[in-house]
A and B are shown apart, each in its own frame.
Chain A
Amino acid sequence: SQTIHQWPATLVQPVGSPLSLECTVEGTSNPNLYWYRQAAGRGLQLLFYSVGIGQISSEVPQNLSASRPQDRQFILSSKKLLLSDSGFYLCAWSAGIYNEKLFFGSGTQLSVL
């Protein structure tokens, strides 16, 4: 069966520090991978989308970047965190012809202080 792993679960970082959140998928190949940020009143905001290794689509201009060094690995990064980067980050992968089945990781609560 397919599983998705996301870590860490919580992270407290000072402003200006770097960030690296990792997500890995097991049990499937060539998945579509997503990074979302969930905030109150803003729902699920799509940050990055990837259809394959090295193929990253950025949805919103921001202080973050994403990389996909391996087929089932998706990394969210920042060189210097801002206060506004605080939030709940979710990694996900999709299945189905229409991507209608979306499977989420357990999420990372990031607090930038």
Chain B
Amino acid sequence: GDSVTQMEGPVTLSEEAFLTINCTYTATGYPSLFWYVQYPGEGLQLLLKATKADDKGSNKGFEATYRKETTSFHLEKGSVQVSDSAVYFCAGGSNAGGTSYGKLTFGQGTILTVHP
């Protein structure tokens, strides 16, 4: 079955440091890829997405590029802030046929803590 392998955490950084969280996805075909974020006390929310090879998703200074050859979707941010402290989940979902949108396979999550 489909699987998502996500960089283990937790990750602790100082403010303005560079962030990378690795994610690779194994599936039949080429799924859409997502990063969801969960801030303390809040529900999961979509951070960014990419639906095909070489697509780059970006939002709030975060970026991730869909690499077809490695089925990777690593999350990056050039300068993290304290407010970026959260749990980050990589996820993939079939985009074939239009009937499986929303059926996502998630990684285990990476806890990010940013110190001032």
Partners in one complex: no
